[in-house]
Amino acid sequence: YLKISKLALAFAIIRSKPSGKSSKEYTEHLAKTVSEQDFEWKWKVEVLEAEVLRLRQELLLNRICPRFCIENDTSAETLLDRECINSTSYSSQLEDSGCDVSNDSAFDSLGIASDFHQSEHNTSKRWLERVPPLNLCHTSKEQFLTAPVQFLQHLLEIRKLSEGGILQADFSELENDPFTICNSVSQLLDGLTIFYNSPKFPISNFLTEAVGVLISLLTDTKLSNHVVKKCFKKLEEFKKNLIKIILRNSNVSRFQALHSVSQTLILLGRNNILRNSLISLLLSEVRQFAEQLLQAHQVQSVYDITRYENIFPLCTILEELLQNETEKSNVSGSDYEEEKIKFLKNLDQIILHLSDEFPLFSLYLWRVSVLLNSAQMQ
């Protein structure tokens, strides 16, 4: 049947081709036309799927907290007004200064490293606003992120107001509709991955807000369990992608971008479940690089200088996560116990052989080992 169909199509093309064009040229023209139509339909499907998700988000919010509960509550309006007055705007005027890292404030790349939870105040007044329908003709990637970001913002606002007794909310509805929360977080993570792969400075307020919402969601004591449980695989993939972005970035002026990714990884590590798996990933990457560097050094072969430079942000992240864990006396490192044993196994020999040629990297390895041993002693 397929052969007959192809033969019939070939005859149809030959008989209908315009004069002055060969069959091959006409076939290529038809293929291009069909391909463009197919792309247009796929684009429309994506837009409509995004609109369906937006409607599901709105429905879920209404189930968690019916709108009239807050519209008729004057105390809630007063609280929202007060929060709006106390809101703090983020700085997005960043200049990519290349290798100059003297200005720490410039490298607080997403405006959230020191006090990310302030993002909760940014849209307090807007939480009841309806997200506008997507434009089927002009929808950018950033517009696609609008729906999940606003949905998660509204969820956080409901959580905050219900905690103060101003709203009555039923968060068990999140269990009844795992699709909506999972897809919303997935869209947010995909959008952030695209940005980190090709960042543009200064960073827009929208992206600053998106990261703030993600971190607030993962560190909220009540909502984080719902999110991590339903989106654990996606969050693990997101962490792996961020680590790859750090290691593979070879741009000359990449240090500000790498710092942005590093800060996001550190903030992700504030979640207890994500922290252990992140430490395990970082230990594995640093150990593998140390072994490869030792091998290259022993045979006097060329090593990748860019990868060598990019390994230091991973060491810094690892050190900070381990330091925070030690200070909190949180030694439940069973999730990364296997990687810790592998990391410490031949570490003394690696440091001994690399210390003369690579003193800074050897120092970082030693500092990480001290933190690991300190946790073990505790």
Give me the pLDDT at residue 327, please. Answer: 66
Residue 1 predicted with pLDDT over 80: yes
Q: Does residue 166 contact residue 60 with C-beta atoms inside 8 Å? A: no
- The more confident residue out of 110 and 229 is 229
Q: Does residue 262 contact residue 246 with C-beta atoms inside 8 Å? A: yes
244 with 173, same domain: the answer is: yes
CA distance 243 to 322: 17
- Read off the pLDDT band of 352 (50, 70, 90): very high
- Read off the pLDDT band of 143 (50, 70, 90): low
Residue 127 predicted with pLDDT over 50: no
- Read off the pLDDT band of 142 (50, 70, 90): low
Give me the pLDDT at residue 109, please. Answer: 45
Give me the pLDDT at residue 316, please. Answer: 94
Domain span holding position 181: 139-270
Q: Does residue 88 contact residue 186 with C-beta atoms inside 8 Å? A: no
Residue 77 predicted with pLDDT over 50: no
Least confidently predicted of 87-96, 162-171, 174-183, 326-335? 87-96
Other CB atoms within a 10 A radius of the CB of residue 274 amount to: 21
Q: Does residue 92 contact residue 185 with C-beta atoms inside 8 Å? A: no
Give me the pLDDT at residue 173, please. Answer: 84
247 with 322, same domain: the answer is: no
Residue 59, in any domain of the structure: no
Residue 72, in any domain of the structure: no
- Long-range pairs, 163-169, Cβ under 8 A, ≥24: 164/79, 166/70, 166/73, 166/75, 166/76, 166/79, 167/65, 167/69, 167/70, 167/73, 167/76, 168/65, 168/69, 169/64, 169/65
Cα R_g (the chain), whole angstroms = 26
223 with 299, same domain: the answer is: no
261 with 292, same domain: the answer is: no
Least confidently predicted of 42-51, 90-99, 184-193, 241-250? 90-99
Q: How many domains would you assign to the chain? A: 2
- The more confident residue out of 103 and 169 is 169
The closest alpha carbon to 213, from 273, 151, 256, belongs to 151
- Long-range pairs, 170-176, Cβ under 8 A, ≥24: 170/63, 170/64, 170/65, 171/64, 171/222, 171/223, 171/226, 173/60, 173/63, 173/64, 174/60, 174/64, 174/223, 174/226, 175/226, 176/63
**What confidence tens digit (pLDDT) does each residue in 238-257 have?**
999 999 999 998 887 788 88
Residue 124 predicted with pLDDT over 70: no
For 78, the token pair is 């007063």
Share of the chain above pLDDT 90, in %: 26
Mean pLDDT of 191-211: 82
CA distance 217 to 219: 6
157 with 266, same domain: the answer is: yes
263 with 305, same domain: the answer is: no
- Read off the pLDDT band of 87 (50, 70, 90): very low
Give me the pLDDT at residue 226, please. Answer: 79
306 with 232, same domain: the answer is: no
The whole-chain average pLDDT of the chain stands at: 77
Of 270, 300, 321, the residue that ends a domain is 270
For 176, the token pair is 């009844």
Q: Please classify residue 317 by burial: count the beta carbons closer than 10 Å to its beta carbon, then call 0-12 exposed, 13-18 middle and 19+ buried.
A: buried
Q: Does residue 306 contact residue 250 with C-beta atoms inside 8 Å? A: yes
The closest alpha carbon to 185, from 157, 213, 220, belongs to 213
Q: Does residue 216 contact residue 116 with C-beta atoms inside 8 Å? A: yes
Residue 81 predicted with pLDDT over 70: no
Residue 304, in any domain of the structure: yes
321 with 266, same domain: the answer is: no
Residue 15, in any domain of the structure: no
Residue 272 predicted with pLDDT over 70: yes
Give me the pLDDT at residue 144, please. Answer: 61
CB-based contacts of 175, cutoff 8 Å, min separation 6:
226
User: For 78, left (φ over 0), alpha (ψ -120 to 50), or beta?
Assistant: alpha
261 with 162, same domain: the answer is: yes
Residue 310 predicted with pLDDT over 70: yes
Of 237, 270, 303, the residue that ends a domain is 270
224 with 208, same domain: the answer is: yes
Residue 161 predicted with pLDDT over 60: yes
Residue 357, in any domain of the structure: yes
Residue 84, in any domain of the structure: no
Q: What is the DSSP letter of 113?
A: T
Of 270, 286, 311, the residue that ends a domain is 270
CB-based contacts of 220, cutoff 8 Å, min separation 6:
156, 159
CA distance 145 to 197: 16
Residue 312, in any domain of the structure: yes
CA distance 300 to 317: 30
The closest alpha carbon to 174, from 124, 129, 222, belongs to 222
Residue 364 predicted with pLDDT over 90: yes
Winning range, highest mean pLDDT, from 68-72, 114-118, 333-337 = 333-337
Residue 193, in any domain of the structure: yes
Alpha-helix residue ranges (DSSP H) falling in the chain: 2-16, 23-64, 68-71, 74-85, 141-163, 173-176, 178-197, 205-219, 223-248, 255-268, 272-298, 305-327, 337-345, 347-354, 359-377
Residue 89 predicted with pLDDT over 50: no
Q: Tell me the DSSP string of 308-354.
A: HHHHHHHHHHHHHHHHHHHHTT---GGGGHHHHHHHHHTHHHHHHHH
- Read off the pLDDT band of 367 (50, 70, 90): very high
CB-based contacts of 306, cutoff 8 Å, min separation 6:
249, 250
324 with 228, same domain: the answer is: no
CA distance 360 to 250: 20
304 with 186, same domain: the answer is: no
- Read off the pLDDT band of 132 (50, 70, 90): very low
- Read off the pLDDT band of 122 (50, 70, 90): very low
